[in-house]
Structure 1
Amino acid sequence: MPAPYKPTRDDPPGVPARRAALRLLDAVLRRGQALEGALHNATQGLDNSSDRALTHAIAAQVLRRLADLDALIDSATRQLLPDDAKARFALRIALAQAILLETPPHAAISTVLPLVDGGPRKLVHGVFGTLMRANAALPDVATLPPAVAARWEAAWGADMVEAAGRAIVDQPPLDLSLKSEAVEHPDGVSLAPHHVRLPVGTSVRAAEGFGEGGWWVQDLAASLPARLLGAGKGHVLDLCAAPGGKTMQLAAAGWDVTALDVSEARLARLSDNLARTGLSVDVVVADALSWTPPAPFDAILIDAPCSATGIFRRHPDVLHRATARVIAEARDIQAALLARAADWARPGGTIVYAVCSLEPEEGEAQIAAFRAARDDFAIVPVSADELPDGIVPSADGFVRTLPGMLGDRGGLDGFFIARMTRNG
């Protein structure tokens, strides 16, 4: 990775944050890095947190509307700019600010022109001016990356693709999981037991009850896998547990929880949340593919590593990074985890498998392959009364949440969940 950007004396105010946004977009679009993972390096040298927040906001908006921003740019140029041209990146950044972040146009363009010093400044200035004079706007439904749209239309139909294009336009609301219904928490809309949905932009740390530890942030869809295990009935393994939302759900439901993850850094966040909420679990830092448990478990929750395409509303970079190769690699890891963890469930025990992915290879096809290899496991169908209103189990008894579900109430992340029992 290139060295962190260091502002120079020649940079006018506001330019360093745009340089950092350029660096961040390059990390995602050219090098395939995660937006959140690349943020720290991209913003080194910035003076304050507001500049870092602006860098993130600009990059995220560009990634949400990349195809539509590029269509505007292409409509105002005689010759198409290469996808990786610095002039195209500068225009994406300027247009995202002016159209999506309500930055005054003069500020949006003046802070990106230094990004193309020694290059086509007049072109960038001219294209931007042409589009502003034409009152350029973006469509109400975002255009998804072509490969993603084709993949999802083949799997789920054109209506799902349109719903995804609507879902990515705006930031999603904030969901909280409650330790119990009695804890102090902010007022909001409850879509399920132990759940509250808050408006977009709510400050988490300033919200009522944060310090008391009665709740944690967790999308409603992400809370479903642990809900399907019900009240505590023994010892449960939360596999790939970090950052720990499902771990805390299980502990709050009365389970004796072992939380296992390979990442010590990510488990540190779980430990912080456990300290805040007062919940107690056994935390294990280990690779599930080489770890051996001391005894079988009554239940296992496998929140498997995946392409994460289901969380594109909050992480728009996944739509640009989750290639066919990434999906195939995730599928292979999931298959290995399922095969290994299956032997850790006692006879009569339950496994819940979940991925925050909209790819059938990581969900329905994964479970079909597992069951073909393991006839000692049977599907335990999920019933409608186990799910929030508006979420309906599939005919096979699985849970598949898609863009458009609960759309009038703030929507959901995309998940696949299967529940199985090991025959005695």
Structure 2
Amino acid sequence: MPHPQPHVPEPPGVPARRAALKVLDAVLRRGSPLEAALAGAGAGLPPPDRALAHALASAVLRRLPDLDALIDSVTARPLPPDAKARAVLRIALAGALVLGTPGHAAIATVLPLVDGGPRKLVHGVFGTLMRRQARLPEPPNLPAAIAERWLANWGGEAVEAARRAVAEPPPLDLTLRDPAETERWAERLGATSFLPGHLRLPARMPVAELPGYHEGAWWVQDVAASLPARAMGSGGGRVLDLCAAPGGKTLQLAAQGWDVVAVDQSESRLARLRDNLTRTKLAAQVVCADVLRWAPDAPTDAVLIDAPCSATGIFRRHPDVLHRAHPAFIAEMAELQARILSRAAEWVKPGGILVYATCSLEPEEGERQAERFLNDDARFAPEPAAHDGRILPSGFAQGCDGFFVARFRRNA
């Protein structure tokens, strides 16, 4: 009886590339979010390998059009978009040209992912590009469909800002529990500030090791993501925070004096909200429910809807959205937003406030949605606030997430 072959560990660096290959397949072929794909592909990997897989996949997604242009420049016929040889070359080139991996290591660690003829092809294409001292353009190019859409909607300046923003993970923005302490915390952390209660630090800071984290003085939140709760103003009544997780706006509303009911259908994401409420010593009622099936026991003073959307505005930290947000998906999300808006409008007291927001750069999920709502419900009127409207990637120094915020008042 033959003995089973002993398991031979893969050479260092190969497991991370194998995981990155699986992540990219899930994102680009199946439309999975990057983080969800990594949770599956990276299961069982040591933390350094998991981090490398994430960095490689993210680098490919940030630079995909330019990586493909390099590959196509040295092949007699373009490789199919879903060819494994193309996917492996993307990873090798991202390692060498973006992450600074030595060329010999970048190619040696991807060759085990392909067999036969493609292995020779991958080696040849990579070697040719390295001998030509290939470089990627700066700033990166956006996917053509995204660039055309955003150019038509927002103009060339916004597209150029988006190109600069996609190159690297964004800086770290914090929201303070007490805006009156902005100057003190800015000095203590060496941070810059664009608004009261906001701080900005460099990317890749060790969040849990920063002063103020354990005492709950602040939480991580992009400056643009803080604008919907700022548009709500100071409290004095009960507010429903719908689609609330992971909870930055819930914390803001509680700190602004509102009696908050936070509703979201994801129990795992609400766990993070509960942890942050405990850490910051802020209070809110947390409800795990689908807002299309749940209803409050009585009308309320205010409602904040951070609606599910295509999320194209958060491409700086989630570059996968640039490759998943197709027109059909955007239209699907817009219909869902309209249903949530229509339902939530019934829960606002006469004279109450309704704030609608999305982390999207698509007018269908912003301006057009607001116009549609006002046309359909004569009980509400637009009420300009200090922090509403369209927020583009060029909205603050060094950039920000793309957002749309609209505030409405129900007729008394």
Matched with 1:81 is: 79
Q: Specify the alignment match of 2:248 in structure 1.
A: 245
Instruction: Return the alpha-carbon distance in structure 1 between the equivalents of residues 110 and 298 of structure 2.
Output: 59
Q: Distance in 1 between matches of 2:233 and 2:7?
A: 57
Query: What is the CA–CA distance in structure 2 between the aligned matches of 1:138 and 1:404, rounded to whole Å?
Result: 23
Instruction: Report the aligned-residue RMSD.
Output: 1.4
Aligned residue for 2:394? 404
The whole-number CA distance in structure 1 between the counterparts of 2:314 and 2:43 is: 27
Question: Equivalent of 1:374, from 374, 377, 380?
Answer: 377
Higher mean alpha-carbon deviation, 223-232 vs 114-123, is at: 114-123
CA distance, structure 1, for counterparts of residue 7 and residue 88 of structure 2 = 19
Q: How much has 1:216 moved relative to structure 2? A: 0.4
Identity of aligned residues (%): 62
Residue number in structure 1 paired with 2:33: 34
Deviates further, 28-37 or 259-268: 259-268
Aligned to 1:312: 315
Give the unaligned 5+ runs of structure 2. 1-5
Contact 2:20 2:54 in 1 (8 A): yes
SS of residue paired to 1:69: helix
Distance 1:358 1:8, change over 3 A: farther
1:182-220 deviations in whole A, cap 9, x for unaligned?
Answer: 386623001101111001121101111111111100000
Quickly say closer, same or farther: Cα 1:107–1:239, change in 2 above 3 A: same
| Residue 255 (structure 1) aligned to one of 253, 258, 268 | 258
Q: How does 1:21-420 map to 2 (within 5 A)?
A: 21-46=20-45, 48-180=46-178, 181-182=180-181, 186-382=189-385, 386-387=386-387, 398-406=388-396, 409-420=397-408
Per-residue CA deviations over 1:245-279 (Å, capped at 9, x if unaligned) read 00000001111000011111111110111111111
Amino acid at match of 2:379: D
Q: Deviation at 1:40?
A: 1.1
Please state how far the C-alpha of 1:10 moved relative to its aligned partner.
5.3
SS at 1:228 equivalent: helix
Deviation at 1:419, TM superposition (A): 0.4
Report if aligned partners of 1:186, 1:209 keep a CA contact under 8 Å in 2: no
* TM-score w.r.t. length of structure 2: 0.95
Question: Which secondary structure state, in structure 1, belongs to the residue aligned with residue 339 of structure 2?
Answer: helix
Q: How far apart, in 1, do the equivalents of 2:12 and 2:406 lie?
A: 52
- Gap regions ≥5 residues in structure 1: 1-6, 388-397
CA contact (8 A) 2:241 2:304 kept: yes
TM-score, normalised via structure 1 length: 0.92
State whether residues 238 and 259 of structure 2, in contact with CA within 8 Å, keep that contact through their aligned partners in structure 1: yes
SS in 1 for 2:207: coil
Q: Which amino acid aligns with 2:114?
A: V
**Matched letter for residue 408 of structure 2:** M
* 1:4 corresponds to: none
Partner Cα separation in structure 2 for residue 324 and residue 343 of structure 1: 30
- What is the CA-CA distance between 1:143 and the residue it aligns to? 1.4
Q: Residue type of the partner of 1:153?
A: L
- Match of 1:225, SS state, is helix
Q: Which amino acid aligns with 2:41?
A: A
Aligned twin of 1:392: none
The CA distance in 1 between the partners of 2:127 and 2:7, in whole Å, is 27
Cα distance, 1:347–1:228 mapped onto 2, change above 3 Å: same
Map Cα deviations across residues 103-137 of structure 1 (whole Å, 9 max, x no partner).
Answer: 11111000001111234212111111111111111
Q: Decide which moves more: 188-197 or 36-45.
A: 36-45
Is the 1:187–1:196 contact (alpha carbons within 8 Å) kept by the matching residues of 2?
no
**Which letter does structure 2 place at the counterpart of 1:26?**
D
Separation in 1, partners of 2:199, 2:9: 48
Residue deviations 1:66-104 (CA, integer Å, cap 9, x gap)? 000000000111111111111101110000000100011
Q: Distance in 1 between matches of 2:283 and 2:164?
A: 40
The worse-fitting range, judged by mean Cα deviation, of 178-187 and 112-121 is 178-187
1:422 corresponds in structure 2 to 410
Cα distance change, pair 8–148 in 1 and its aligned pair in 2 (3 A): farther
2:16 & 2:29 partners in 1: Cα distance? 19
The answer (yes or no) to whether the contact 2:151–2:159 under 8 Å persists in 1 is yes
Distance 2:158 2:216 in 1: 37
More helix by share: 2
Question: Could you report, residue by residue, the CA deviation over 1:279-301 in whole angstroms, capped at 9, with x for unpaired residues?
Answer: 11001111111112111111110
Structure 1 position 157, deviation (Å): 2.0
Secondary structure, counterpart of 1:140 in structure 2: coil
AA at the equivalent of 2:305: I
Contact 2:359 2:404 in 1 (8 A): yes
Q: Would you say how many aligned residue pairs link Structure 1 and Structure 2?
A: 402
1:45: how far off? 3.3
Please, which moves more after superposition, 144-153 or 65-74? 144-153
